[in-house]
Amino acid sequence: MRATLADLLHNEVNDPRLDAVTVSLVRLSADRSHARVYFSVIGDDERVRSAGDGFTAASPFLRRELGRRMRLRTVPSLSFERDTSYEYGDRMERVFKRLREDGILAEPAEPATDQGDDQ
């Protein structure tokens, strides 16, 4: 479902509010009647609000096309939420970097390479 929505956004939806928006995750309810679509977008709060408005406008088209492309008997209702995991990960990386610079946290170990024994 995520891949189908991403394809629809990039190839079928002609709404400039949804340019450079990425569908990162889709969570389907247990009864498959509702899908929560998480998206990421780079920009300020106005850009996020604009993307949300774009999704609201495109939602009927997206549902119709999901049903057609995925041949679903019951097409779930869609709700759209911003995925903040990227910002959270970036913030944590900055915290770890600062802790390493202050000597509180050791540098990450280099990954081991498996060179095997040739003897």
The pLDDT tens digits for 67-118 are 999 998 889 999 999 988 777 777 888 888 888 888 887 777 676 666 655 5
CATH 1.10.150.120 fits 2-101, yes or no: no
DSSP secondary structure of the chain: -HHHHHHHHHHT---GGGTT-EEEEEEE-TTSSEEEEEEE--S-HHHHHHHHHHHHHHHHHHHHHHHHHHT-SSPPEEEEEE--HHHHHHHHHHHHHHHHHTTSSPPPPPPP-------
Q: Where are the domains of the chain?
A: 2-101
Question: How do residues 26-40 score in pLDDT, each as one tens digit?
Answer: 999 999 999 999 999
Residue 119 above 70 pLDDT?
no
